[in-house]
Structure 1
Amino acid sequence: MPLPLSVQLYTVRDQLATDRDHTLRRIAEIGYGAVEPFDPLTDPQGFRRLTDDLGLTAPITHAYALLDRDRDPAEVFDAIAAIGAGLVVIPGGIPHEEFTTRDGLSRVADLLAELAGRAAPYGMKIGYHNHWWEIEPEVEGTHALEVLAGLLPPEVFLEVDTYWAAVGGADVPALLDRLGGRVRALHVKDGPIEKGEPHTAVGAGKMPVPAVLAAAPDAHRIVELDTCAGDVFEALAASKEYLSSLPEARLTA
């Protein structure tokens, strides 16, 4: 089923900090239909009013705050409900060492299963977002992320950052094919596939973007630039134009 193309708002974190309304309006004007917040706790009601006015949705959000043992999870889930998200992603915050052994991966799986149980009464699903450190280590000859996937309960999904998976050494289309339906969302980004180097507009780097998208046809497509050497809005516009030209993107008009 075609889905609206989304932007991970970490891409425009500096612009959001100075003028949230203008930043989201620029994203909508470029033609994106959705956004993925990285901090749903910041004025969720005001955020929802603005996105509704702009015709944007926020079906997925990151939620580091769920790892904060001093914070009431109900506060986090209430904020997520206010912005309208049903898919909730843990985007890191777990020690890298846990991804180097099967015992560590079992602890990660238990943590995500616990969070999934807390999310279920709100009608939400929990997912995990990778970087390179869940890909580089091999546990019993397999990328750590794949071992983790085999330990997770079926209700926990993956949001695969396709660029960091490539940086970690994965054949990304093959990885996505093996993970199958576990993958509910993709971070679609591009660049030189090197740590520490700025990202480019999607389609201007070395990532095999059409093959990546074809390997996860039903996943949400979320554009992200962690860093950008040029104007970030120009890069977002170029990414939107490129992805809209690909049948593999499976986007709504």
Structure 2
Amino acid sequence: MKIKILLLLALTFSMSSNLLFAQKGKQLFPQTPGMVSYTYRSSFSKDVALTLDTLKALGIKDMEFSNLFKRTAADIKKLLDERDMHCSSFGVSYDDALNKTQEVGQNAKTLGAKFVRVAWVPHKGAFTLAKADSTIADFNTIGKRLKDEFGLTFCYHNHGYEFEKHEDGTLLDYIIKKTDPAYVSFELDVLWAFFPGGDPAGLLEKYPKRFKLMHMKDLRKGVEGNLSGGTPVTNDVALGTGQLDIPAILKAAKKSAIEHYYIEDESPSYATQVPQTMAYLKGLKQ
């Protein structure tokens, strides 16, 4: 009887160990990421079709266009359709989003996008509470128009300068809390959350429903951040080779409302770094 019990316990332990091993062996990021057109801006400016062919060969299907590269939205949509690719997000300037909302909305719809994104608030010097207040008012206006007239979701992409301290948090916290969640969502740029001293994973955990899009990028080791919102493009490195804890960020993202993950690599070495980033993501285990 004791032998049977021991055998049963051994079998149970073995099964549990195998299950644990299998779980650890699961891919953390099994899907193919999307791509921000800004990564390939140099290539796109020369030949949009050929650049899309390059991205398709990498397995990329999901695009965020931040520029139409002297084409019409209809032209780009046709090129995407011919390659079984799609555009999920359309990035525009703050001024265009505010003052050319109709044109922006029409272009986004033509592209097939569901999101419109702004990545920079024009300002001089430090980002202030007064600027945050005017930004909040503008974002609520832009977001309502895009939602009501086009069924689009407006997102703001953080850029580092919004991490100025305010009360018990930052001005980014203030913007998130004061914008209407029915009309304003966010795109988390993980580098531009880390660079000013923030915690990308912590932001996702703090606001699990507000972030809908993500820019995945990494910061060169040894580089010290600040609140400027800028750093040389050569400080963008392949994921997993820099300072950010990418696995922790992705684990937090999986529990959040993130719908699209885009690679953004501003470095001139994007042609070699993007494949390296994709291999790194594919190799991540839980």
- Identify the TM-score tier after normalising by the shorter chain: 0.7 to 0.9
Unaligned runs of 5+ in 2: 1-29, 224-230
Amino acid in the other structure paired with 1:57: H
Matched, 1:129 2:167: no
Of the three residues 280, 283, 286, the one matched with 1:242 is 280
Matched, 1:19 2:47: yes
Q: Distance in 2 between matches of 1:77 and 1:169?
A: 34
Matched, 1:222 2:253: no
Instruction: Please tell me the root mean square deviation across aligned C-alpha atoms, in Å.
Output: 2.3
Q: Is the 8 A contact 2:73 2:111 kept in 1?
A: yes
CA apart distance, 1:215? 1.1
Q: Is the 8 A contact 1:31 1:240 kept in 2?
A: no
What are the Cα deviations for residues 40-61 of structure 1, in whole angstroms up to 9, with x where unaligned? 4831111011111112111111
CA apart distance, 1:99? 3.6
State the partner residue of 1:106. 133
Structure showing greater radius of gyration is: 2
CA apart distance, 1:245? 2.6
CA apart distance, 1:100? 2.5
Q: Distance in 2 between matches of 1:216 and 1:206?
A: 18
Aligned pairs (5 A) from 1:187-226:
187-192=215-220, 194=223, 195-196=231-232, 197-217=234-254, 218-219=257-258, 220-226=260-266
CA apart distance, 1:71? 5.5
Q: Is the 8 A contact 2:97 2:142 kept in 1?
A: no
Q: Distance in 1 between matches of 2:239 and 2:174?
A: 29
Of the three residues 63, 70, 77, the one matched with 1:48 is 77
Length-normalised TM-score, structure 2? 0.78
Q: Distance in 1 between matches of 2:58 and 2:220?
A: 25
What are the Cα deviations for residues 95-137 of structure 1, in whole angstroms up to 9, with x where unaligned? 2668422x432221110010012102101011101111112x1
Q: Is the 8 A contact 2:32 2:59 kept in 1?
A: no
Q: SS at 1:75's partner residue? A: helix
* Aligned residue-pair number: 243
Aligned pairs (5 A) from 1:14-93:
14-40=42-68, 42-64=71-93, 67-68=95-96, 72-93=100-121
Q: Is the 8 A contact 1:96 1:133 kept in 2?
A: no
Length-normalised TM-score, structure 1? 0.88
- Quick one: structure 1 residues 24 and 187, their matched pair in 2 at CA, closer, same or farther if it must change by over 3 Å? same
Unaligned runs of 5+ in 1: 249-253
